[in-house]
Amino acid sequence: MLYSKSECGTLMRGMDWSANPLGLPERWPAELRTVVSIALGSTQPMLIVWGPEQTVLYNDGYAKMCGLRHPAALGGSFRDLWFDIWDQVEPIIDAAYAGISTAMDDIGFIMHRNGYPEETHFSFSYTPVRNAAGEVLGMFCACNETTTEVMQRRRLQREQDRLRHIFENAIGAVAVTSGPDHRFTFVNAEYELLTGNRGVTGKTVAEALPEVVDQGFIRLLDQVYASGTPYHGRSHQIDLQRSPDHPPEQRILDFVYYPIPGAEDDVSGIFVQALDVTEYHQLHHELGHRLKNQLTLVMAIVNMTFRAAEDLDEAREAVMNRIAVLSRAHDAIISGEVQGTTVDELMRSVTALQAGQSDKRLTCDGPSVHIAPKPSLSLSLILHELMTNAVKYGALSVPEGRVLVQWQVEGNRFRLVWQESGGPPVSQPERTGSGTALIEAGLNGTRNCAVTLTYAPEGLCCDIRAELVGVVMPGGEPATTPPVRRAAGGGGH
């Protein structure tokens, strides 16, 4: 029994057993000799607790688990060996002596076995050892220390939690799939939003998103999984069933499929990240459309101005002023992109070009009408032409002259009236210049727009009318704030 060449076998042979509660080994019961023989012949850590005194015997594997308490613990009391964790161990050993077996895959302790506190973890089984009469003589334990594995799993879990937090807050839609059937194991909120909040986790891509099967995306996933080569997609169109009550919605995505390495240098899954660039493409298209429209407008202004100008200097000045008005109108549109710009804001931008004019001679009166981009550009040019004419030849060319600009909403139509008074006598011009042509062209983008120019002796009047639906911003309220009444350069409302 004690002929083992192991360290613990050698220690047991050299011990004086005469004073030990177990007595001399040759007098040990057969049950004890059997379990000791099994323990000393095994490489797995094994412990024997025997008799009413709960005397401890163990093998070399268990000796390592005892730390600095080995070899003094061999042949001693079980309670003395594990005094620092006795409150946890005592119920288990008491159960074993009562004939009840206990097995655990993981039990944790804070031990002082090496002179300092340390977190430890074990898997074990406590099995009662009985004699032929069924009486419990002691306990046999086979165990393993799992501290290293538990700490590794904990570090891995922390790393997974950290990555999960990163993925959850990443820009764009992020998902992780597992296995050759591409089963979702993780998706962030952006991915759920992109795919219509269907609860895809735990399902395969084909099960969760059946509409993409025939669009080639499963084939791409299969390709990445089989080859281990990432795939980068740019501006891919995809039809997604984002709502069960609506037809599939076309989106444009930039995405990457990145293979996740497995334990055997194979691929265990795929990391997916996608950016929905649909709005970017729409904006890019709209920007190109707007740019072409503005270039066309600039070309028309230039051509009209040069055809009607008396000389090159006059044409150059008129073109520069009109393009400056367009620039200021664009600034007003961009700064108020959501709500659109207002007539009053356009009036202020136009009068800013007429530096030095008294702010008391031009009065604005009307509600806050948020107008759309196209008519705002036209209205800016019209107001500029009227202002230029008033400063050079009309009411604002003399100190006593006055200009009243009034606008209002009349049912489903928008109306603006420019009325001059107190200036030099007015007469019908002999020819129609480029400025008059711009004014009479009306408001671009509106329906049934009519412009009436009246050359009354007491002052020029310009009356502009158009259907409201083409003037105001889509979905905007045409007149929800109190009317504006101020002198044009005053800045107060």
In contact, 100 and 44? CB cutoff 8 Å: no
Vertex 380 angle, CA 377 and 385, to 5°: 130
Distance CA 300, CA 443 (A): 15
Q: Which residue type does 140 have?
A: F
> Both tokens of residue 456?
């009354």
Please give the pLDDT value at position 489.
46
Please give the pLDDT value at position 464.
95
In contact, 488 and 360? CB cutoff 8 Å: no
- Write down the H helix ranges in 393-473: 434-440, 468-471
- 492: buried, middle or exposed (CB in 10 Å: 19+, 13-18, 0-12)? exposed
Distance CA 351, CA 366 (A): 17
Q: Which residue type does 51 have?
A: G
User: Which pTM does this prediction carry?
Assistant: 0.49
User: How many of the other CB atoms lie within 10 Å of CB of 300?
Assistant: 14
User: How many of the other CB atoms lie within 10 Å of CB of 66?
Assistant: 21
- Write down the H helix ranges in 143-230: 147-168, 189-194, 205-208, 217-227
Backbone phi and psi for residue 353, each to the nearest 5 degrees, phi listed first: -75, -20
First-to-last alpha carbon distance for the chain, in angstroms, is 107
Distance CA 386, CA 389 (A): 5
Distance CA 122, CA 89 (A): 12
Distance CA 286, CA 473 (A): 17
Q: What is the CATH number of domain 338-468?
A: 3.30.565.10
Please give the pLDDT value at position 283.
66
The overall longest dimension of the chain from CA atoms, in Å, is 140
> Both tokens of residue 6?
């192991």
CA-nearest of 148, 110, 149, 107 to 126 is 107
Backbone phi and psi for residue 313, each to the nearest 5 degrees, phi listed first: -65, -40
The residue behind tokens 């309670």 is 79
Length of the chain: 493
Beta-bridge mates of residue 134: none
- 299: buried, middle or exposed (CB in 10 Å: 19+, 13-18, 0-12)? exposed
> Could you give the 3-state DSSP secondary structure of residue 477?
coil
State the fold for domain 7-150: Beta-Lactamase (3.30.450)
> What are the Cα distances from residue 421, in Å, to 137, 181, 407, 447?
122, 81, 17, 30
Hey, do 7-150 and 170-280 end up sharing a CATH topology, with the first three levels equal? yes
In contact, 209 and 232? CB cutoff 8 Å: no
Q: What is the pLDDT along the chain (493 residues), one digit of tens a residue?
A: 567 789 999 999 999 999 999 999 999 999 999 999 999 999 999 999 999 999 999 999 999 999 999 999 999 999 999 999 999 999 999 999 999 999 999 999 999 999 999 999 999 999 999 999 999 999 999 999 999 999 999 998 898 888 778 778 878 899 999 999 999 999 999 999 899 988 999 999 999 999 999 999 999 999 999 999 999 999 999 999 888 888 889 999 999 999 999 878 889 999 999 999 888 777 666 556 555 555 655 665 576 566 656 677 766 776 677 676 666 555 644 544 444 578 888 887 777 655 344 457 888 899 988 888 778 878 887 888 888 888 888 998 888 999 999 999 988 899 999 999 999 999 988 877 767 887 888 887 788 899 999 999 999 999 999 998 878 855 545 544 445 555 554 443 3
In contact, 362 and 403? CB cutoff 8 Å: yes
Q: What is the CATH number of domain 170-280?
A: 3.30.450.20
Beta-bridge mates of residue 269: 178, 260
Torsional sign, CA 29, 34, 35, 39: positive
Taking the domains of the chain in order of start, what are their residue ranges? 7-150, 170-280, 338-468
